[in-house]
Amino acid sequence: MKALLQRVSQASVVIAGDTVGRIGPGLLVLVCAERGDSEAHATALLAKLLKLRIFADAAGKMNRNVQDLDGQGARGGLLVVSQFTLAADVSGGNRPSFTGAAAPEEGRRLYDYFVAQARAAHGQVQTGQFGADMQVHLVNDGPVTIALRIEPAG
Protein backbone atom coordinates (compact mmCIF):
# COMPACT_ATOMS: atom_id res chain seq x y z
CA MET A 1 0.00 0.00 0.00
CA LYS A 2 1.00 3.55 -0.62
CA ALA A 3 0.19 6.70 1.26
CA LEU A 4 1.10 10.33 0.85
CA LEU A 5 1.04 12.11 4.21
CA GLN A 6 0.76 15.84 4.53
CA ARG A 7 1.13 17.52 7.90
CA VAL A 8 -1.67 20.07 7.97
CA SER A 9 -2.96 22.85 10.18
CA GLN A 10 -6.37 22.11 8.63
CA ALA A 11 -7.86 20.05 5.82
CA SER A 12 -11.27 19.20 4.43
CA VAL A 13 -12.96 17.15 1.72
CA VAL A 14 -15.88 18.54 -0.28
CA ILE A 15 -18.19 16.47 -2.49
CA ALA A 16 -20.80 18.21 -4.64
CA GLY A 17 -20.57 21.32 -2.47
CA ASP A 18 -20.94 19.46 0.85
CA THR A 19 -18.07 19.15 3.32
CA VAL A 20 -17.90 15.46 4.22
CA GLY A 21 -14.72 15.48 6.31
CA ARG A 22 -12.75 18.15 8.17
CA ILE A 23 -9.82 18.19 10.59
CA GLY A 24 -7.73 20.79 12.34
CA PRO A 25 -4.04 20.05 13.00
CA GLY A 26 -3.06 16.54 11.96
CA LEU A 27 -2.42 14.47 8.86
CA LEU A 28 -4.08 14.37 5.47
CA VAL A 29 -3.56 10.75 4.40
CA LEU A 30 -3.98 10.00 0.70
CA VAL A 31 -4.05 6.20 0.54
CA CYS A 32 -3.83 3.75 -2.37
CA ALA A 33 -4.25 -0.02 -2.40
CA GLU A 34 -2.13 -1.76 -5.01
CA ARG A 35 -2.44 -5.19 -6.58
CA GLY A 36 -1.26 -7.82 -4.10
CA ASP A 37 -1.96 -5.71 -1.02
CA SER A 38 -3.68 -7.23 2.01
CA GLU A 39 -5.01 -6.28 5.42
CA ALA A 40 -1.50 -6.86 6.78
CA HIS A 41 -0.19 -4.11 4.49
CA ALA A 42 -2.93 -1.72 5.63
CA THR A 43 -2.22 -2.50 9.28
CA ALA A 44 1.53 -1.96 8.84
CA LEU A 45 0.98 1.31 6.96
CA LEU A 46 -1.32 2.63 9.68
CA ALA A 47 1.10 1.62 12.45
CA LYS A 48 3.93 3.45 10.71
CA LEU A 49 2.03 6.68 10.06
CA LEU A 50 0.65 6.86 13.61
CA LYS A 51 4.18 6.70 15.05
CA LEU A 52 5.97 9.01 12.60
CA ARG A 53 7.56 11.83 14.56
CA ILE A 54 6.83 14.73 12.22
CA PHE A 55 5.22 17.26 14.58
CA ALA A 56 7.28 19.83 16.47
CA ASP A 57 8.04 19.55 20.16
CA ALA A 58 8.57 22.57 22.43
CA ALA A 59 12.07 23.04 20.99
CA GLY A 60 10.78 23.03 17.41
CA LYS A 61 12.23 19.60 16.57
CA MET A 62 10.19 16.88 14.88
CA ASN A 63 9.70 14.68 17.93
CA ARG A 64 5.92 14.31 18.22
CA ASN A 65 3.58 11.97 16.35
CA VAL A 66 -0.05 12.56 15.44
CA GLN A 67 -1.15 10.65 18.53
CA ASP A 68 0.65 13.12 20.80
CA LEU A 69 0.54 16.25 18.71
CA ASP A 70 1.25 18.74 21.48
CA GLY A 71 3.25 16.56 23.87
CA GLN A 72 0.42 16.62 26.37
CA GLY A 73 -1.72 13.85 24.93
CA ALA A 74 -3.71 15.95 22.44
CA ARG A 75 -4.29 13.88 19.32
CA GLY A 76 -4.22 15.35 15.87
CA GLY A 77 -6.84 14.48 13.32
CA LEU A 78 -6.52 12.08 10.41
CA LEU A 79 -8.31 12.88 7.17
CA VAL A 80 -8.13 9.69 5.09
CA VAL A 81 -8.84 10.01 1.37
CA SER A 82 -8.73 7.22 -1.22
CA GLN A 83 -6.28 8.10 -4.00
CA PHE A 84 -5.81 5.40 -6.64
CA THR A 85 -3.70 7.77 -8.75
CA LEU A 86 -0.79 7.16 -6.35
CA ALA A 87 -0.37 3.92 -8.32
CA ALA A 88 0.28 5.86 -11.54
CA ASP A 89 3.03 4.54 -13.79
CA VAL A 90 4.34 7.06 -16.31
CA SER A 91 7.39 5.10 -17.43
CA GLY A 92 5.77 4.17 -20.76
CA GLY A 93 4.85 7.66 -21.92
CA ASN A 94 2.93 10.72 -20.92
CA ARG A 95 -0.43 9.13 -20.16
CA PRO A 96 -0.44 7.47 -16.72
CA SER A 97 -1.25 3.80 -16.42
CA PHE A 98 -3.08 2.68 -13.29
CA THR A 99 -2.73 -1.08 -13.79
CA GLY A 100 -0.78 -1.29 -10.52
CA ALA A 101 -3.78 -0.14 -8.51
CA ALA A 102 -5.96 -2.74 -6.85
CA ALA A 103 -9.21 -3.54 -8.64
CA PRO A 104 -11.96 -1.15 -7.50
CA GLU A 105 -13.78 -3.64 -5.27
CA GLU A 106 -10.51 -4.73 -3.63
CA GLY A 107 -9.38 -1.12 -3.29
CA ARG A 108 -12.65 -0.23 -1.56
CA ARG A 109 -12.38 -3.23 0.77
CA LEU A 110 -8.82 -2.34 1.80
CA TYR A 111 -9.67 1.37 2.13
CA ASP A 112 -12.63 0.53 4.37
CA TYR A 113 -10.43 -1.81 6.41
CA PHE A 114 -7.75 0.89 6.76
CA VAL A 115 -10.34 3.46 7.92
CA ALA A 116 -11.89 1.03 10.42
CA GLN A 117 -8.47 0.21 11.86
CA ALA A 118 -7.57 3.91 12.03
CA ARG A 119 -10.79 4.69 13.91
CA ALA A 120 -10.14 1.84 16.35
CA ALA A 121 -6.53 2.91 16.97
CA HIS A 122 -6.81 6.69 16.82
CA GLY A 123 -10.40 7.83 17.12
CA GLN A 124 -10.11 11.25 15.48
CA VAL A 125 -10.62 10.12 11.87
CA GLN A 126 -12.53 11.82 9.08
CA THR A 127 -12.73 10.54 5.50
CA GLY A 128 -13.54 11.33 1.94
CA GLN A 129 -15.73 8.95 -0.06
CA PHE A 130 -14.22 6.09 -2.02
CA GLY A 131 -14.57 6.61 -5.78
CA ALA A 132 -16.16 10.06 -5.50
CA ASP A 133 -15.09 13.21 -7.31
CA MET A 134 -13.67 15.12 -4.33
CA GLN A 135 -12.13 18.50 -3.75
CA VAL A 136 -9.49 18.33 -1.04
CA HIS A 137 -8.60 21.58 0.68
CA LEU A 138 -5.56 21.77 2.92
CA VAL A 139 -3.07 24.03 4.55
CA ASN A 140 0.19 22.08 4.48
CA ASP A 141 2.09 22.88 7.66
CA GLY A 142 5.80 23.28 7.08
CA PRO A 143 5.35 22.16 4.36
CA VAL A 144 5.83 18.55 5.39
CA THR A 145 4.91 15.84 2.87
CA ILE A 146 6.06 12.23 3.20
CA ALA A 147 5.49 9.27 0.90
CA LEU A 148 5.11 5.83 2.54
CA ARG A 149 4.94 2.44 0.90
CA ILE A 150 4.44 -0.99 2.41
CA GLU A 151 5.48 -3.57 -0.19
CA PRO A 152 3.31 -6.56 -1.04
CA ALA A 153 4.90 -9.94 -0.38
CA GLY A 154 6.43 -11.82 -3.27
* Structural domains of the chain sorted by starting position, each given as residue range(s) with its CATH number in brackets: 2-149 (3.50.80.10)
Catalytic-role residue among 84, 114, 124, 127: 84
pLDDT reported for residue 153: 63
For every residue of the chain, which 3-state class applies, written as one string?
A: CEEEEEEEEEEEEEECCEEEEEECCEEEEEEECECCCCHHHHHHHHHHHHHCCCEECCCCCEEECHHHCCCCCCCCEEEEEECHHHHCECCCCCCCECCCECCHHHHHHHHHHHHHHHHHHCCCEEECCCCCCCEEEEEEEEEEEEEEECCCCC
83 is a catalytic site residue:
yes
What pTM, to 2 d.p., does this model score? 0.94
Asked about 43 being catalytic, the answer comes back as no
Read off the pLDDT of residues 121-138 as tens digits, 9 standing for 90 and up: 998 999 999 999 999 999
What pLDDT is stored for residue 137 in this prediction?
A: 98
Share of the chain above pLDDT 90, in %: 90
Please identify which of the residues 6, 55, 67, 83 carries the catalytic annotation.
83
